[in-house]
Amino acid sequence: MTLAELEPVNVDEQYRLLIGGDWVAAESGTYEIVNPNTTQVIGHAPEASITQVNDAAAAAKAALPGWRDTPMAERCAMIGRAADLLEQKLGGLVGLVQGETGATINVSESIQITSCADRFRHYETPVNVDEPIEPYPVAENPLGPGGLSCAHVIRQPVGVVACITSYNFPLVNMSGKIAPALAMGNTLVIKPAPQDPLAVIKMGEIIEEAGFPPGVINIITGSGAVAGAALVESRDVDMISFTGSSAVGAKIMQAGGSTMKRLLMELGGKGACVLTDDCNVDGAVGAIASVWGFHSGQICTAPTRVIVHRSRYDELVDKLTAVAGMLKLGDPLDRETIVGPVITELHRDRVEHFIASGVADGATLLCGGRRPDLPGYFVEPTLLADCTSDMRVVQREIFGPVVVVLAHDDDDHAVELANDSDYGLFSYVFAGTTARAFEIGKRIESGNVGLNSMAPHIHAPFGGFKMSGVGRDRGVYGLHAYSEVQALSWMSS
């Protein structure tokens, strides 16, 4: 697609909520969505009332029996149709998702858009999720004649799932929840992030064309925490599938406890990136530079916390500093641009505050850290060296284009530093051999560890240790996440 072919964004478009199969105006009006590059209003999002949030949950509950009893093959066929439609039509949303997220045009076209259809495609084929259990001979006893004790373990949908997502990849994050949850027979209320919900609403229109019955998918949006909090409180909602910060995740766990919500929590990260003395530094530099170039570091799996062997320290920071200087920052619509803005003024200020705290705590600012003279919410690619584990910039998730570097003395020390974190989502090891990386990777407290590579396996379980989350999704693990296990047992004589 050329830039000239981008669908223009209609600022006056009326976006609506989807409740029980009807597209309806929000009862509490609308709020402005701001383009992080231009700081101009790009559209107005619906502000759902609490009544509408509850109506959406009730509609999902009403649609549950019909959808749950629809054979999995039919449900998956509909998901396949949705994948076809997304492949055909989602390209029309590049301009909108680019405008509301501020992602560069290259990131917008690729990750923001094309991986959505893939997330549906992964669940277009029915999978047997039932689990066999060995029969167990029972001798005659005072309670019965004995026989062969048999059981069949099946997976049932959890029920109504509220999908609440973060702002960084609005379409992809939501697609990754919708497809497995629907395949398992759940019905949904989806609530995208306040900052950039417009493309998700438009994606809902596309998905609906696949023929999902009314009420199976409902869409709610709102400017603050109110709509999400109401879903967490709702007795009609059985499960919260959440992607967002660990702080909000903890609030949801507390609030959801009183109604015993099932939870899938995909939370924050502070990815350790261990470099051994024999590693290929150039390979690691490419991965680490993605913190700057890939959506300005607004990605939970980024290798932001670099732990390099002292013997390779200077080589690494020299190469990283050189790369940072080559990354073009500015207009995300320029195809040469690598570093676009972060999502809001508030978030830009937060990232800047972290950088200042790193310097105050004794880190060396090797590059970046200044505010570019541009209207949007930009942060320069920033490299903080001479860091120690007690610094806030090392312990806290910054979610911006900021890399911190620590030195280690040997593999044990590297593992100790990597594990000195509340987070454990995605970490990386770069070592001279994959075998050595594998041995170190096993010792890192992290749900995923990339070995000499950043590429995750698309069917591997994804999720976090510690404050990075609860549960796993992707592949068959996604089906498991959205199911309850039921055992049916009988005695065979």
Q: Output the smallest distance, CB 267 to ligand NAD, in A.
A: 5
Site string for ligand NAD, 250-269 (x = CB under 6 A): -xx-------------xxxx
Write out the catalytic residue numbers.
266, 300
Number of residues near ligand NAD (by CB under 6 A): 29
- Of the two residues 208 and 397, which places its CB atom closer to ligand NAD in the complex? 397
Quick check: 397 binds ligand NAD (CB under 6 A)?
yes
- Of the two residues 269 and 358, which places its CB atom closer to ligand NAD in the complex? 269
CA angle 252, 253, 258 (to 5 degrees): 100
Q: Output the smallest distance, CB 47 to ligand NAD, in A.
A: 12
Quick check: 248 binds ligand NAD (CB under 6 A)?
yes
3-state secondary structure of 290: helix
3-state secondary structure of 143: coil
Task: Answer whether 212's CB lies under 8 Å from 133's CB.
Answer: no
| Residue 478 backbone dihedrals phi, psi, to 5 degrees | -65, -40
Q: CA nearest 136: which of 123, 125, 150, 124?
A: 150
Q: Position of tokens 């105006």?
A: 25
**Which residues are registered as beta bridge partners of 329?**
339
Structure tokens at 142: 């005072």
Alpha carbon 103 to its chain centroid, in Å, reads 16
Quick check: 425 binds ligand NAD (CB under 6 A)?
yes
Site string for ligand NAD, 130-169 (x = CB under 6 A): ----------------------------------xxxxx-
Q: Output the smallest distance, CB 139 to ligand NAD, in A.
A: 50
Q: CA nearest 298: which of 104, 458, 95?
A: 104
User: Applying CB under 6 A, which of residues 245, 344, 357, 395 lies at the interface with ligand NAD?
Assistant: 245
Q: Output the smallest distance, CB 73 to ligand NAD, in A.
A: 29
Site string for ligand NAD, 205-244 (x = CB under 6 A): --------------------x--xx--x----------xx
Task: Answer whether 333's CB lies under 8 Å from 378's CB.
Answer: no
Type of residue at 30? T
Task: Answer whether 102's CB lies under 8 Å from 332's CB.
Answer: yes
Q: Output the smallest distance, CB 64 to ligand NAD, in A.
A: 21
User: Applying CB under 6 A, which of residues 399, 430, 465, 482 lies at the interface with ligand NAD?
Assistant: 399
Type of residue at 269? G
Site string for ligand NAD, 339-378 (x = CB under 6 A): ----------------------------------------
| Residue 126 backbone dihedrals phi, psi, to 5 degrees | -65, 145
Q: CA nearest 481: which of 469, 493, 489?
A: 469
Type of residue at 10? N
Name the residues that contact ligand NAD, by CB under 6 A: 164-168, 173, 191, 193-194, 225, 228-229, 232, 243-245, 248, 251-252, 266-269, 300, 397, 399, 425, 464, 469
